[in-house]
Amino acid sequence: MEIKTLSYSKNRKEIIQKCAEFFADELNLKNSTYKVFICTDPTLMRERRNNGVACKTGDKEITIAVDSRLPIKKLFYTLAHEMVHAKQFARGQYRSEKARNGKYRRYWCGKRIVADYVDQPWEIEAFSRESILVERLLSVLTKNMKKEQMS
At 113-124, the pLDDT tens digits run 999 999 999 999
C-alpha 28/C-alpha 21 separation (Å) is: 11
pLDDT value, residue 49: 81
pLDDT value, residue 45: 80
Higher pLDDT, 37 or 104: 37
pLDDT value, residue 132: 97
C-alpha 87/C-alpha 80 separation (Å) is: 11
pLDDT at residue 146 is higher than 80 = no
pLDDT at residue 24 is higher than 80 = yes
Kindly provide the b/e burial profile for residues 64-76, where b requires at least 16 CB atoms within 10 angstroms of the residue's own CB.
bbbbbbbeeeebb
**Which range (41-45, 70-74, 81-85) has the least confidence?**
41-45
CB atoms within 10 A of CB 100: 5
CB atoms within 10 A of CB 15: 17
